[in-house]
Amino acid sequence: MRQSLGLIAAFALALGSTSSFAADKSIVGLITKTNTNPFFVKMKAGADEAAKANDVELRSFAGKVDGDNESQVAAIEDLIAAGAKGILITPNDSRAIVPAVEKARAAGILVIALDTPLDPPNAADATFATDNFLAGEMIGQWAAKTLGAKAASAKIALLDLNVNQISVDVARDQGFLKGFGIDLGNPAKIGDEKDARIVGHDVTLGSEEGGRKAMENLLQKNPDISLVYTINEPAAAGAYEALRSVGRDKDVLIVSVDGGCPGVRNVKDSVIGATSMQFPLLMAAKGVEAVKTFASGGGKPKSSPGLDFVNTGVELVTDKPVGEMPSIDSAAALKKCWG
């Protein structure tokens, strides 16, 4: 007993000494969903740069796989123990992470959600994110205008993320349908739409492999598919391979969301008709700046007007612009993919 008390005391001392050692630099924690997805790799790069520029110490954590809540809770606990000033987190589970976030905020830490809002959104001090519904709506509108008169008889395949119906997945899918002019039913639910133009939904896990299989199966349901919505660009690349293998790659329109560099190159090669670019690097950089401001006595960041999050922007990327829709071409987009 005495021994273990001694150990605890030593441990506490060690903790105290490290936090006092680091006290001259504010600690900012970055917790991403995984460290495998290039989107989060870019986000980490943005946070790294901003940490150097703002003279704060960045500590990065990530879940092991998409959906891994436990690792993220452990990361929050570590950061509380380390005396962090702010935590930037992309929650793997928007709802389950809330109690851990409350603990961090009770300890006086500024918590900012990046990319994916918490549920409820005000469980974090602020959210820096892409307007995913708008991102979907833009490619939906672009597709409707590009198809013109053919939009009325379009056959649409929707390649979503997974079976969980997470907020980002739902927002992009429903945004696309609204932009295309389809009655949504419940906007918080994928798959309850009644429009006859929808051939079906399938899931891709956001990968090339999943995108190919989903596209093949939907083509079996209806070989006349003319428009494909994809949750992200890897899924779009897989869908394209499926279409190419049956010789339909020239006459089927694919739209997507993300704005990663390989995706933008696919826009250039006409694999993808249009994509909505988001800015993870900016999210992270703004997040680090906000923590710096908060740590030096400034206030908490305020949401964009009319939204419950800070909109980090989204841009339509296409080489075939339509009418009055603002867009950038692939050459311009390549210079700032995910910037």
Q: Both tokens of residue 266?
A: 């696919």
Residue 93 CB neighbours (<10 A) = 20
206 part of the interface to another protein, by CB under 8 A: yes
Judged by CB, which is closer to another protein: 64, or 105? Answer: 64
Pick the stretch among 88-96, 124-132, 209-217, 275-283 that binds another protein (CB under 8 A).
209-217
Q: Would you give the binding string for another protein spanning residues 105-144, x where CB under 8 A is met? A: ----------------------------------------
Sites for another protein among residues 25-54 (CB under 8 A): 35-38, 41
**How many binding residues for another protein (CB under 8 A)?**
36
Q: Exposed, middle or buried by CB within 10 Å (0-12, 13-18, 19+), for 325?
A: middle
Cβ atoms of 48 and 59 within 8 Å: the answer is: no
What is the longest distance spanned by two Cα atoms in the chain?
81
Judged by CB, which is closer to another protein: 133, or 240? Answer: 240
Shortest Å distance, C-beta 161 to another protein: 11
Shortest Å distance, C-beta 153 to another protein: 21
Output phi, psi for 15, to 5 deg: -60, -50
Residue 194, C-beta contacts closer than 8 angstroms, at least 6 positions apart:
183, 185
240 part of the interface to another protein, by CB under 8 A: yes
Could you say which of 9, 13, 81, 163 contacts another protein (CB under 8 A)? 163
Residue 301 CB neighbours (<10 A) = 20
Judged by CB, which is closer to another protein: 36, or 71? Answer: 36
221 part of the interface to another protein, by CB under 8 A: yes
Could you say which of 111, 144, 205, 267 contacts another protein (CB under 8 A)? 205
203 part of the interface to another protein, by CB under 8 A: yes
DSSP string computed for 57-105: EEEEEE-SSTT-HHHHHHHHHHHHHTT-SEEEE--SSTTTTHHHHHHHH
Residue 24 CB neighbours (<10 A) = 8
Binding site for another protein (CB under 8 A): 35-38, 41, 65, 163, 191, 200-203, 205-209, 212-213, 216-218, 220-221, 234, 237-238, 240-241, 245, 261-262, 265-266, 269, 271
